[in-house]
């Protein structure tokens, strides 16, 4: 469903991403790994429309999307989280999820001002969806807290829930396990697998936690200094000499 062909991104003199290719099939978890500064986040930023790539193509469901504005890409069903959590901190947890559903509630101004029955119905639906996902990530009791007051792990889960209420087709997670303790990482593991199994979204995952990556990925892409180094199943990657030398070896 997603195809990245020879993606390049240049910042001035720095070629941060150099002809990276990537394939994601339906119901698949694909990981991108590589040392810090390898260009992983930059690949995400190109895919999600934050940057216009300097070269290459990105196809989502056979549509070229490189250079499409970010908000349009997310409306296509390609939604991401951030390496550094980005919540609407001074809004409550539910409100964070309601903001994300604005498209489901996209009625005109007046039906909202006078609360037509149709508007109420949609509003109730978004509340139900929010409640469902809060329950799913174990934050239902926190529903009316300010998002900024949540513990770090909870913020991470809220960010994922916030993506899920938009009912995406493809979810991009940028280092979701960073800063989590082992127990939380295990939970996250379960959650990501369940997103694939139960909610039929594909996941592209950037992660440093190798055990997590090896356990849940269907395929792994390794990049090093912006260049693709290897790709394959977890087993292939584990035994790839280049990878061992460049990445696993030094870690």
Partner 1 sequence: MNAANFKHALFCAFITLIISYPILGLNLVSAGTSMGLEGASTVTIIGIFMAVAVVFLFQLCRDSAMAKLGQLPRPDFTSNRPPMTEKTRLKIQNIVILTIILGASLWPFIASRGSIDLATLVLIYIMLALGLNVVVGLAGLLDLGYVAFYAVGAYTFALLSQYFGVSFWFALPVGALLAALFGLALGFPVLRLRGDYLAIVTLGFGEIIRILLNNWTSLTGGPNGIGGIPDPTLFGLEFGRRIKEEGNLSFHEFFGIAYDSTHKVIFLYLIALVLAALTFFAVRRLMQMPVGRSWEALREDEIAARSLGLSRTGVKLSAFTIGAFFAGFAGTVFASKQGFISPESFVFLESAIILAIVVLGGMGSQFGVILAAIAVTILPELAREFSEYRMLIFGAAMVLMMVWRPQGLMPMRRIHIELEKQE
User: Applying CB under 6 A, which residues contact ligand ADP?
Assistant: 11, 14, 16, 34, 36-42
Binding partner 1 by CB under 8 A: which of 25, 64, 120, 128?
128
Continuous segment of H or E residues that includes residue 195: helix 182-199
Binding partner 1 by CB under 8 A: which of 26, 52, 64, 86?
86
* Chosen from Mg ion, ligand ADP, partner 1, none, partner binding at 108 (C-beta under 5 to 8 Å by type): none
Structure tokens at 153: 């792990």
Binding partner 1 by CB under 8 A: which of 62, 117, 144, 251?
144
Dist. CA 199–CA 87, nearest whole Å: 23
Residues 41-70 interacting with partner 1 (rule: CB under 8 A): 48, 50, 69-70
Name beta bridge partners: 87.
Answer: none
Does 190 bind partner 1 (CB under 8 A)? Our answer is: no
Instruction: Decide whether 77 or 234 has the Cβ nearer to partner 1.
Output: 77
Binding partner 1 by CB under 8 A: which of 25, 64, 89, 190?
89
Query: Is the backbone of residue 210 left (phi > 0), alpha (psi -120 to 50) or beta?
Result: alpha
We find the least distance from the C-beta atom of residue 45 to ligand ADP, in angstroms, to be: 7
Instruction: Decide whether 10 or 82 has the Cβ nearer to partner 1.
Output: 82
Q: Is 83 exposed, middle or buried (0-12, 13-18, 19+ CB in 10 A)?
A: middle
What do you get for the CA distance between the two ends of the chain, in Å? 33
We find the least distance from the C-beta atom of residue 98 to partner 1, in angstroms, to be: 6
Report helix, strand or coil for 224: strand
Dist. CA 187–CA 161, nearest whole Å: 14
Name beta bridge partners: 222.
Answer: 33, 230
Binding partner 1 by CB under 8 A: which of 12, 36, 63, 71?
71
Report helix, strand or coil for 131: helix
Structure tokens at 85: 């959590």
Instruction: Decide whether 44 or 60 has the Cβ nearer to ligand ADP.
Output: 44
Dist. CA 16–CA 185, nearest whole Å: 29
Instruction: Decide whether 36 or 144 has the Cβ nearer to ligand ADP.
Output: 36
- The residues of the shown chain that bind partner 1, judged by CB under 8 A, are 48, 50, 69-72, 74-75, 79-80, 82, 86-92, 94-95, 98-100, 102-103, 105-106, 109, 112-113, 127-128, 130-132, 134-135, 140, 143-144, 146, 162-163, 166
């Amino acid at each position: 469903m997603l195809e990245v062909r020879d993606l390049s991104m240049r910042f001035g003199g720095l070629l941060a991403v150099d002809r990276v290719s990537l394939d994601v099939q339906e119901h698949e978890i694909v990981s991108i790994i590589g040392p810090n500064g390898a260009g992983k986040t930059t690949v995400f930023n190109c895919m999600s429309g934050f940057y216009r790539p300097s070269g290459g193509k990105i196809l989502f469901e056979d549509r070229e999307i490189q250079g499409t504005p970010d908000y349009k890409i997310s409306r296509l069903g390609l939604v991401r989280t951030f390496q550094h959590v980005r919540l609407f901190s001074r809004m409550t947890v539910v409100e964070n999820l309601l903001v994300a559903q604005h498209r489901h509630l996209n009625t005109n101004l007046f039906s909202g001002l006078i609360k037509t029955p149709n508007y109420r119905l949609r509003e109730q639906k978004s509340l139900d969806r929010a409640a469902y996902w809060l329950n799913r990530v174990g934050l239902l009791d926190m529903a009316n807290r300010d998002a900024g007051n949540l513990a770090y792990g909870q913020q991470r889960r809220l960010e994922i829930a916030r993506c899920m209420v938009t009912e995406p087709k493809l979810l991009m997670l940028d280092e979701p396990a960073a800063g989590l303790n082992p127990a939380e990482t295990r939970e996250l593991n379960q959650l990501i697998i369940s997103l694939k199994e139960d909610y039929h979204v594909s996941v592209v995952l950037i992660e440093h936690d190798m055990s997590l990556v090896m356990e849940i990925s269907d395929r792994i892409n390794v990049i090093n200094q912006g260049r693709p180094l290897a790709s394959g199943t977890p087993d292939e990657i584990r035994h790839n000499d280049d990878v061992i030398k460049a990445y696993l070896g030094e870690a």
